[in-house]
Amino acid sequence: MSARTVFHTRQWLPFVSSFHRRAVIVQKLCISTHNDEVRLAEEASKKYGSPAPTIFSKIIDKSVPAGIFFEDDKCLAFRDISPQAPVHFLVIPRIPIPRISEAHDDDALLLGHLLVVAKNLAMKEGLDEGYRIVINDGKHGAQSVYHLHIHVLGGRQMQWPPG
């Protein structure tokens, strides 16, 4: 190795080391957030194995404030308490369907309505460049509230794969 190569290596070493430390910190934060979500999903799965009142039930009956910015006779929408994108809101049905996997054929019109409302609100929020719609289902899907809800996320470039 020449003296010049050694100099260049030493010159960049602090940068690489600093970059690596930051990458490890970000990775740990992501893992921590991921583990928190999985833990919450596991706890909710045990607690809400059967239909039970959830925080969303309290938002629907307005006993808990949530900044509802849309509602009709079938659903309502409000901002996520822990946004994962510049725009992140939830659309929930008024009737308590615990999981998408527990929806029945006769829920088809309601489910379609939820998606159309999500699309219309995304357009009103200025997400004309695109957005992501997510429905978590059950423990392995990291569902933390057992009341069906649609996440709408946008305002930045989404990454793939998502999880």
Query: Could you list the active site residues?
Result: 149
What are the residue ranges of helices labelled H in 48-105?
A: 55-60
Place of tokens 């079938």: 74
Residue 130: count other Cβ atoms within 10 Å of its Cβ.
10
Residue type, 146: Y
Sign for the CA dihedral angle at 73, 55, 66, 40 comes to: negative
Report how far apart, in Å, the C-alpha atoms of 83 and of each of 3, 17, 152, 155 are: 51, 31, 10, 11
| SS3 call for 22 | helix
